[in-house]
Chains A and B, each alone.
Chain A
Amino acid sequence: MIMEPALERLIDRSRDGDRDAFDQVVARYGLQVLRTARLILRDQGLAEDACQETFLKAWRKLDTLRDQEPGPWLIRIAANESISAYRRRHRFDRLAERFGRVRESEPEAVSTEERIDLSLALERLSAEQRAVIVLRYYHDQSVEQAAGALNIPVDTAKSRLKAALRRLRSLTGAEEVIP
């Protein structure tokens, strides 16, 4: 893919260690990365942490970005960092719960018989499921592209997507599609 010349210069300067140039890369893609993390994590603080980790990792791995548009590359890192952040948080929560301390961020239980809106329904999915949903429906990636971004087999991505959609339909009361 041919990169916009100005952007290519920014990436080259960043590779050479120019932090001001990288600041501009952050300014250009930051919102896109933050939104992705926010959609997956459903928590602003965690999303900001994942966003920060995304750009720090990108800075360290700039040498691996070869002639490709940084956007999808950053989204790929952001999706994986978001899943990692979610797992870390849940490990922390599980440990805290073992001592009888429940985190405030734990979502309230919602009866599956009760119809809820999409926003609440998305919170009931795992981060792994939300990542596939976000890549597929927000970033308009194919299932194959989403699988590649998340480093999982295509079949796994398909089944994860299918399960997530079924759960969303069930929670929101949308009719199940019979193929």
Chain B
Amino acid sequence: VSDKFDSDLREHLHQEAGNVNDFPRDLAGRIRDGIEPRRSFGLVQQLAVAGGLILLAGLLAYGIGQLRASSGLPAGQSPIPTASGAVQTVQPVVGLGPFSCADETWGGNGPQAQLTAVRMASHNGYERMTLEFSGSSTVPAYGLVRQKSPDFVKDASGQPVRLAGSAGLKVYLKPVTAANPLPIDKPAGADIREISLIGNFEQQVILGVGLSQPACVRVLELSKPTRLVVDFDTTPASQASPVELLPFVCADRKGGSTAAATVVAVRVAHHTGYDRIVFEFAPQPDGSSKIPSYTMIQQSSAQFTKDPSGQPANLEGSAGLRVVFRNTAAQGSAISSSPTPVVTQVRQIGEFERVVSFGIGLNRAACFRVVELTGPGRLVIDFES
């Protein structure tokens, strides 16, 4: 019996495995997009890096000390902003992480706590809502659920509540009670329109957030005091002035939305201080402007691989950037260019199963910045020249 069962089990597993009979191309692309450049450092370079890190740590410690002295913060308190008081204007330097456009975000697992305040602050590129807790050193369980309207239902009365704005975010907190009264700051920017306590029942607190438009969020769990920070991405792509606002960064990049798109034009031009490539997309069926999901991967040569043939595509230049758009078509996307000092060549190197790839040849490895614009939808890449 054992032999037969073992045999059946083995056969069944092989049969199940056989049902997975191909490796998704999209997955291969995601893996390629996710890998970071490997660098080999010699001993001298490693020592230099270590020395640099020690120096940086010293400078940061000195800077934090100065900040604390100037802001009146007591020793031991984090200088990360609580969105209120003297440190409100201090910008976090590192570790903020990307915004997520997921429909739901769940986290936290702390014990019972009391929600004591809801603070608001507006920063460059995002608006911050800070929930402050007492009674626990860790953030309680929370859930953030995005919704397409600012309509909520009061817990437990069931009465409808319409907040200002055209979209919303529901924040669940548990096991949590809300202070009575609960101080809630007025919105500090233009995107968060209204916040309301819509539930405080059986140790579950629900906050409704009315938004002027759907916004991606970023969540931070902070301590001393215990805080749950929710940042709303307010990057006004259509108003952004990339030259003034965005630094050049020497790192791979990804972004965009899940929308389907069609590349209709690619333009290359030189401006003072940078070379610019613009990918322009056709309007969405509803007339809106959307940028599809994209990844940009730097490479140390201008040699690319065509997708899906695998044939080499050798562009002019000594470095390159591979730009991949997902859920995208590229029907008749003409590439027009004028002489540019850094960008040597732009060529479409793939279009298969709605994945469109472009190779960009560069005459040297160049840092770049990315801007998403609307009306029409455009993705702009500026290479520092």
Contact = CB atoms under 8 A, between A and B. Distances in A.
A67 interface: no
Given A48-B27, A51-B27, A95 B1 contact: no
Given A17-B39, A27-B23, A35-B17, A95 B31 contact: no
Nearest to B206: A99
A24 to B, nearest CB: 10
A133 to B, nearest CB: 7
Contacts of A62: 38
B101 interface: no
A26 B8 CA distance: 31
A39 B13 contact: yes
Contacts of A55: 31, 35
Interface string B273-309: 0000000000000000000000001011000010000
B35 A168 contact: no
Interface centre among B6, B8, B38 (most CB of A within 10 A): B38
A48 B29 CA distance: 12
B16 interface: yes
B174 A23 contact: no
A20 B38 contact: no
B231 to A, nearest CB: 20
A48 B6 contact: no
Given A118-B12, A177-B1, A99 B204 contact: yes
Contacts of A34: 20, 23, 27
Interface of B is mostly: mixed
A17 B35 CA distance: 10
Contact of B9 (A44, A48, A168): A168
Given A16-B40, A177-B2, A138 B14 contact: yes
B13 A48 contact: no
A30 B9 contact: no
B37 interface: yes
Contacts of A59: 35-36, 38
Nearest to A36: B17
A172 B34 CA distance: 41
Contacts of A30: 23, 27-28
Given A27-B28, A52-B34, A175 B1 contact: yes
A38 interface: yes
B30 interface: yes
A168 B10 CA distance: 13
A137 B7 CA distance: 9
Interface stretch (B91-99, B103-111, B207-215): B103-111
A174 interface: yes
Interface in A137-179: 137-138, 165, 168-169, 174-175, 177
Contacts of A116: none
B236 to A, nearest CB: 32
Contact of B31 (A56, A96, A165): A56
A56 B35 contact: yes
Contact of A119 (B12, B30, B172): B12
Nearest to B34: A56
Contacts of B299: 19
B305 A138 contact: no
Nearest to B305: A20
B27 A52 contact: yes
Interface in A101-122: 101, 118-119
B6 A22 contact: no
Nearest to A139: B13
A133 B17 contact: no
Contacts of B5: 165, 168-169, 174, 177
A44 B17 CA distance: 12
13 contacts: A16-B38, A23-B28, A34-B20, A38-B20, A51-B27, A51-B31, A95-B109, A99-B141, A99-B143, A137-B6, A165-B5, A165-B9, A177-B5
Minimum-distance CB pairs A-B, first 6:
A17-B38, A30-B23, A35-B17, A138-B13, A95-B106, A177-B2
Interface of B: 1-2, 5-6, 8-10, 12-14, 16-17, 20-24, 27-28, 30-32, 34-40, 104, 106-109, 141, 143, 172, 174, 204, 297, 299-300, 305
